[in-house]
Amino acid sequence: MSRTPDTWIIAAQCPSRLGTVDVLTRFLKEQRCYITELSSFDDRLGERFFIRAEFRPETDFDGEAFRQAFDPRAAEFAMDFELTAPGTRPRTVIMVSKADHCLNDLLYRYRIGQLPIDIRAVVSNHPDLEPLAAWHDLPYHHFPITPETKAQQEAHIRQVIEETGAELVILARYMQVLSPEMCTLLSGRAINIHHSLLPGFKGAKPYHQAYEKGVKLVGATAHYINNDLDEGPIITQGVEAVDHTHYPEDLVAKGRDVECLTLAKAIGYHIERRVFLYANRTVVFA
């Protein structure tokens, strides 16, 4: 990510009306804050305005005082805003099953400092990836699941999320359908990754089905979860061209690579407050 270590972020949305850019940029100027990056979008169909600014204070800066001073101006525009301090690393829980490629990629990015999150735990319905978590010195919670124990298993997961204070949950190829209650609990703070193939293939071995159909593209979609399986608000998507020389194992390998990159991008956008949720859609200042 291109963000510099000393910048703050303010992200806001409100109904579309005259002066929405001015109210924020004028206030930043008055507060002696230099804008290093500015993005905005007006949704003319939804009559909704979105704005994000990165800024560097040129004087002593108090985040709470800034919020309190901006509150009345934001209220005039019915503007919801969020202020993010430099160095913010959201407390994170990662959920996995048996596939290790996304987890391994995230832990590597985490270890080298490329992904600024604070991983508090790894949760899985299988024991297979515990050595990988242990190598990174991370707690690993194995909660097996059957149709009869689903409610109890999810209660254990909720306990881990609550005890760690997780602000972000990453489903890094967690191959279980979450209950409506869990989806509601994690709304807006849980990111999932899955393959994207056209035509769509469901069930076992989707890449093998894709090979039989002679697909020319493989891809991945990262999205927030909701109660519609794999149909939550999309954050980002990735795609890779393939052709007749790619056998099923080649499609699987390419799919893994795209999934890793797409998931990492989505997490980065989320952390940097580049994603705005509105209805069942997103506005993403990538």
Is the whole model's pTM more than 0.75, yes or no? yes
CA dihedral sign, ordered 156, 160, 166, 172: negative
For the segment 79-108, what is each residue's pLDDT rounded down to a tens digit? 999 999 999 999 999 999 999 999 999 999
37/236 Cα distance (integer angstroms): 21
Per-residue pLDDT, 13:
98
Residue 145 pLDDT exceeds 70 = yes
For the segment 167-223, what is each residue's pLDDT rounded down to a tens digit? 999 999 999 999 999 999 999 999 999 988 767 777 778 889 999 999 999 999 999
For the segment 14-42, what is each residue's pLDDT rounded down to a tens digit? 999 999 999 999 999 999 999 999 999 99
Q: Kindly state the tokens that stand for 36.
A: 């290093």
Answer yes or no: 43 catalytic: no
DSSP three-state, residue 140: strand
**CATH numbers and ranges of domains, the chain:** 8-84 (3.30.70.260), 91-284 (3.40.50.170)
Q: Which amino acid is at 119?
A: I
The conformation of residue 213, written as its DSSP 8-state character, comes to: H
Q: Which amino acid is at 138?
A: L
Residue 166 pLDDT exceeds 50 = yes
Catalytic residue selected from 100, 118, 128, 230 = 230
